[in-house]
Structure 1
Amino acid sequence: MGIVINQSFKNTITTYLGFGIGAINALFLYTNFITDDYYGLVAYILSAANIMMPLMAFGAHNTIVKFYSTFKTKNSLNSFLTLMLLMPLVLSIPVALVGYLGYDAIADILSQKNEIVRGYLWYIYITALAMAYFEVFYAWVKVQMQTVFGNFMKEVFHRVGAMTLLFLIYFDIITIDQFFTGIVGVYVIRAFVMMLYAFTKRLPVFRFNKIDKLSSILKYSSLIIIAGSIATLILDLDKVMLNNFIEPISVVAHYSVAVFIATVIAVPQRAMHQILLPLTAKFLNENNKSELKDLYKRSSLTLYVVSGFIFLLIVLNISELYAIIPPEFSGGLIVVFLISVAKLYDNLLGNNNAILFNSDYYRVVLLFGVILAILAIVLNLILIPRYGINGSALATFLAIVIYNTIKVYFVKQKFGMLPFTNGTLKITLLLLLIVAVFYFWDFPFNPFINITLKSLAIGVVYGFTIYKLRISEDINDQVRQFFRIK
């Protein structure tokens, strides 16, 4: 776990930096510098692009991670990487042609409730393509066990770009149309910078020799599109469907703020996943079951400890947080709670996704995913018209919980291991106890001071208890190193 903890720690810092900048953007700049309708449009464009991204990448980024370590000669590896660079064009070019020929028909469908969407559909395509190639180049360096710079680009770069554009529009230096063009441009530049960095780590040597296991590679790439689509679909489907069921589009902005607050819980998982993915693939390719089982349990425990603390900070401070942002955004308390619990469950799974998508069982998991994606769509169709944004959050919560439970059960059946330990139960009881103690406890000061004092109190109680109970040796080791405790 040494390389995992080391790079995860650095990735966590950059991810939190990115989320901190994102919080300023989402809670203060977007809500004050542009109208709610345009904020909703930004959320819609980026969510739709996220859903399209796995399709545009044609699974190349996952395929690089799974198969890279199986190639033992330079020629075979170079031929494989050449294929990976070209694969995103397989679907992105046909999608562009369909978009060009059928633009009006597509626009009519997507702009039924909100006409503002009609003029920005190409922005979705370009952003999705840029996201896809960014992930390909990021995977290029992940397999070199180098994730820190890529994580910085993934979490920080585009948020700094958005912040810069928001200030430019606030000071009337650019127009709203230029702002949207700039948002797309930020993602294009990010992909280009990632490409340059990736090529400094391993310069591509274009080879078109016959590739061993080509049929397996293409089959995996084709099927993993579905897996990637399902993962992003469950997270971003709600925002896209809200646009089609509810007007005005500003509702998407209000929902996005609540989801962003809850999604902060995902930071540790996002940070650790970057290094867990290639490491898990390596253990699977080497059939190293003991190391895989150890990584499964320790990653779950570490992520649950860290994400549990973030969960407490969010749930116990949410009322005060909503008091410091514009009141029209304050109707998302239920959304925050439901998505927070779902993301906490995500963290509890450790490297479960990495095990499944890099094993020979990924086909069955994809079948589960397709069923769950259909379920998520049906739940949104039923619940959004009845309960609005709370219905959308409930649909997402149910889809994630069911999907994760199936994945845990499947790994238990096929690999004979669970991520849970006695420490899992101890953390759960501690979380419930702290929520019961602190939920109704507030200081009689302004919201900023209340959040600060309450967070410090929660941090001291939670951190001291976790350390004394020795729930996670990895975390205790990091604490001792940080404070130089012998």
Structure 2
Amino acid sequence: MGIVLNQSFKNTIITYIGFGIGGISTLFLFPPILGKTFYGLSNYILSCANVIMPLFAIGMQNTLVKFYSQCKSEKERNEFLSFTVLFPILLIVLIILIGLCFYDEISFFVTKKNPIVKDFIWLIPVIGICMAYFEIFYAWARVHMYSVFGNFIKEVGLRLFSLIALFGIYFKWITAVDFIYLTAGIYLVAFLVTMFYAFRIKKPVFQFTIPHNVKSILEYTSYIILSGSVANLLLDGDKIMLNQYMKIENIAFYSVATYIALVISVPSRAMHQIVYPITAKLMHDNKHDELNDLYKKTSINLQIVGGFVMLCIFVNIDQLYEMMPAEYRGGIVVVFMIGLSKYFDLILGNNNAIIFNSKYYRAVLFLGVGLVILTVILNMIFIPLLGIIGSAIATLLSITCYSIAKLLFVVKRMHLYPFTKETLHSIAITFVVFLMFYFWKFPVNPIIGICLKSILVTIVYVIVNYKFVVSPEINQTLDKVLFKLKSSK
């Protein structure tokens, strides 16, 4: 097994383990142990830090990956690594100075609805800087073909130490306030550990030298800052805006609901890791028909797999919320809203891979900026009217508009089409199965009921999709599994 395949496999396993730890913590431990106020506060601080992180990193984590292989000598490599680590400090110092100059105004703006935030504002840039340099040193390791350790720290380590800190509250070793500060400490440790690991891989030889291709580097970096900021604002911007209009505990309710809905998008990660390089090669070789065929296949396959995950969540959502504190149950509608937006994004297949490997990628970045503006406006309209449901509606509308814009962009500019008649068949099957199972439940313990209903949904969904041959690729995979099972008897 080659190093790329080996590390890709390990990273996939690590990601799912981390997601499992995060799911257990988010759904069953954080709400009762940390409490809604401090859980909301914790999410708000991390969301703000994540949004400003691309500014602190100046996109150097992506720039390092792109340009490191272009360095022809050891001297150039040392100069470039030094530049990627030292140059962000200039912008960090500038941002911190601006923040200090306008501290009172910023403090008043973010705390007018929730005064509890005021004592913890300074943690936001601290965590943001730790996140930024973690990503830079993680990239340092990745360009030397060592990706597993950094991914473990990011996906498992952070969640695991947060879980340990949570048990510290449960056993009364620390308070909820201590937990907030300890969270910042966890991100600091993650950054330092990753830094020393990167230095172990490649000993630094810091040089205060500007690389010869600095113009290309800064041009690329500017687009990465833009795309990173857009992506993080879409992920966490709604939580930041909720703080401006509602009590901070509502961020806790919203965060739990969005985490549940995000599970729908998990299947796309593995497929995109495989499809992205294939898409790039087909586009480079100008194989339009094969690319169009791949576009259709990724669309329907993700639709079926993502639709299955969505069904299991939607038909069991009431029982799932029965195991959580009663005040969180208003988030059920949010799960449906965010879940549908993720489902629609799934059925676009490898749309993003096509766009970002084309000459039009800059234009789509500006589409993303327009999406952020639209999201902010819609949140300003709907949150005062409908609370967290309003924020979910804003997210659904804005992401749907963005997805349609990207779809039309690919259709009009590149004449590629993701949908077939099977797309409608899959939607119809998913909707019918949902109607069959949503409106009843087993009169047993919620966990047992969820398991039983999920088994029935799986049997019906798989059989119907198989009989109608919605995806020939999935049918072939099932045939191989059934053949192996028969052969083993």
Q: Give me the whole-angstrom Cα distance separating, in 1, the residues matched to 2:142 and 2:413.
A: 27
Q: 2:280·2:353 contact (CA, 8 Å) conserved in 1? A: no
Determine if the alignment matches structure 1 residue 405 to structure 2 residue 404. Answer: yes
Q: 1:7·1:275 contact (CA, 8 Å) conserved in 2? A: no
Aligned position for 2:454: 455
Deviation digits for residues 123-147 of structure 1 (CA, Å, limit 9, x no counterpart): 1111112222222333445556665
Aligned position for 1:109: 109
Shift of residue 326, structure 1, vs aligned partner: 0.5
Give the letter for the 2:284 counterpart: N
Q: 1:8·1:272 contact (CA, 8 Å) conserved in 2? A: no
SS in 1 for 2:443: coil
Shift of residue 68, structure 1, vs aligned partner: 4.8
Q: Where do 1:82-97 residues align within 5 Å?
A: 82-97=82-97
Shift of residue 9, structure 1, vs aligned partner: 5.7
Q: Give me the whole-angstrom Cα distance separating, in 1, the residues matched to 2:92 and 2:415.
A: 40
Q: Give me the whole-angstrom Cα distance separating, in 1, the residues matched to 2:291 and 2:83.
A: 29
Q: 1:15·1:267 contact (CA, 8 Å) conserved in 2? A: no
C-alpha change, 1:47 and 1:460, in structure 2 (3 Å) is: same
Shift of residue 413, structure 1, vs aligned partner: 3.8
Aligned position for 1:120: 120
Give the letter for the 1:179 counterpart: F
SS in 1 for 2:338: helix
Q: Give me the whole-angstrom Cα distance separating, in 2, the residues matched to 1:197 and 1:478.
A: 42
SS in 2 for 1:231: helix
Shift of residue 167, structure 1, vs aligned partner: 0.5
Number of residue pairs aligned between Structure 1 and Structure 2: 482
Q: 1:69·1:282 contact (CA, 8 Å) conserved in 2? A: no
Give the letter for the 1:227 counterpart: S
Shift of residue 97, structure 1, vs aligned partner: 1.9
Determine if the alignment matches structure 1 residue 246 to structure 2 residue 246. Answer: yes
Aligned position for 2:42: 42
Shift of residue 170, structure 1, vs aligned partner: 1.4
Q: 1:56·1:92 contact (CA, 8 Å) conserved in 2? A: yes
Q: 2:341·2:400 contact (CA, 8 Å) conserved in 1? A: yes
Aligned position for 1:268: 267
Give the letter for the 1:128 counterpart: G
Aligned position for 2:191: 191
Q: 1:335·1:389 contact (CA, 8 Å) conserved in 2? A: yes
Aligned position for 1:256: 255
C-alpha change, 1:262 and 1:36, in structure 2 (3 Å) is: same
Which structure: larger Rg?
2
Aligned position for 1:328: 327
Shift of residue 295, structure 1, vs aligned partner: 6.1
Q: Where do 1:214-253 residues align within 5 Å?
A: 214-247=214-247, 249-253=248-252
Deviation digits for residues 261-317 of structure 1 (CA, Å, limit 9, x no counterpart): 11112223345556766x379649x92444866765555444333322211111111
C-alpha change, 1:251 and 1:405, in structure 2 (3 Å) is: same
Aligned position for 1:435: 434
Q: 2:49·2:125 contact (CA, 8 Å) conserved in 1? A: yes
Among all aligned residue pairs of Structure 1 and Structure 2, give the percentage whose two residues are the same amino acid. 47
Q: 2:280·2:357 contact (CA, 8 Å) conserved in 1? A: no
Q: 2:301·2:471 contact (CA, 8 Å) conserved in 1? A: no
Q: Give me the whole-angstrom Cα distance separating, in 2, the residues matched to 1:75 and 1:283.
A: 32
Shift of residue 391, structure 1, vs aligned partner: 0.6
C-alpha change, 1:392 and 1:427, in structure 2 (3 Å) is: same
Q: Select 1:287's aligned residue among 280, 284, 289.
A: 284
Give the letter for the 2:176 counterpart: I
Shift of residue 332, structure 1, vs aligned partner: 1.2
Give the letter for the 1:218 counterpart: L
Structure 1 unaligned blocks of 5 or more: none
Aligned position for 1:51: 51
C-alpha change, 1:482 and 1:71, in structure 2 (3 Å) is: farther
Aligned position for 1:32: 32
Quick check: 420-429 or 225-234, which moved more?
420-429
Aligned position for 1:182: 182
C-alpha change, 1:268 and 1:143, in structure 2 (3 Å) is: farther
SS in 1 for 2:99: helix
Quick check: 96-105 or 328-337, which moved more?
96-105
Q: 2:280·2:354 contact (CA, 8 Å) conserved in 1? A: no
Quick check: 232-241 or 85-94, which moved more?
85-94
Q: 2:46·2:127 contact (CA, 8 Å) conserved in 1? A: yes
SS in 2 for 1:318: helix
Q: Give me the whole-angstrom Cα distance separating, in 2, the residues matched to 1:48 and 1:381.
A: 18
Aligned position for 1:361: 360
C-alpha change, 1:154 and 1:467, in structure 2 (3 Å) is: farther
Q: 1:54·1:228 contact (CA, 8 Å) conserved in 2? A: yes
Q: 1:4·1:276 contact (CA, 8 Å) conserved in 2? A: no
Deviation digits for residues 18-38 of structure 1 (CA, Å, limit 9, x no counterpart): 222222222222211123111
When normalised by structure 2's length, the TM-score is 0.87
C-alpha change, 1:89 and 1:482, in structure 2 (3 Å) is: farther
SS in 2 for 1:332: helix
Q: 2:299·2:349 contact (CA, 8 Å) conserved in 1? A: yes
Q: 1:423·1:472 contact (CA, 8 Å) conserved in 2? A: no
Aligned position for 1:343: 342
C-alpha change, 1:416 and 1:176, in structure 2 (3 Å) is: same
C-alpha change, 1:253 and 1:224, in structure 2 (3 Å) is: same
Q: Give me the whole-angstrom Cα distance separating, in 2, the residues matched to 1:19 and 1:423.
A: 31
C-alpha change, 1:141 and 1:376, in structure 2 (3 Å) is: same
Q: Give me the whole-angstrom Cα distance separating, in 2, the residues matched to 1:394 and 1:217.
A: 39
Aligned Cα RMSD in Å? 3.3
Shift of residue 217, structure 1, vs aligned partner: 2.4
Shift of residue 102, structure 1, vs aligned partner: 2.9
Q: 1:63·1:220 contact (CA, 8 Å) conserved in 2? A: yes
Q: Give me the whole-angstrom Cα distance separating, in 1, the residues matched to 2:107 and 2:260.
A: 31
Q: Give me the whole-angstrom Cα distance separating, in 1, the residues matched to 2:413 and 2:106.
A: 43
Deviation digits for residues 396-444 of structure 1 (CA, Å, limit 9, x no counterpart): 1111111122122223344443444565444333322321222224222
Q: Give me the whole-angstrom Cα distance separating, in 2, the residues matched to 1:444 and 1:421.
A: 40
Q: 2:137·2:198 contact (CA, 8 Å) conserved in 1? A: yes
Q: 1:254·1:332 contact (CA, 8 Å) conserved in 2? A: yes
C-alpha change, 1:440 and 1:52, in structure 2 (3 Å) is: same
Q: Give me the whole-angstrom Cα distance separating, in 2, the residues matched to 1:53 and 1:474.
A: 39
Quick check: 128-137 or 202-211, which moved more?
202-211
Shift of residue 483, structure 1, vs aligned partner: 8.4
When normalised by structure 1's length, the TM-score is 0.87
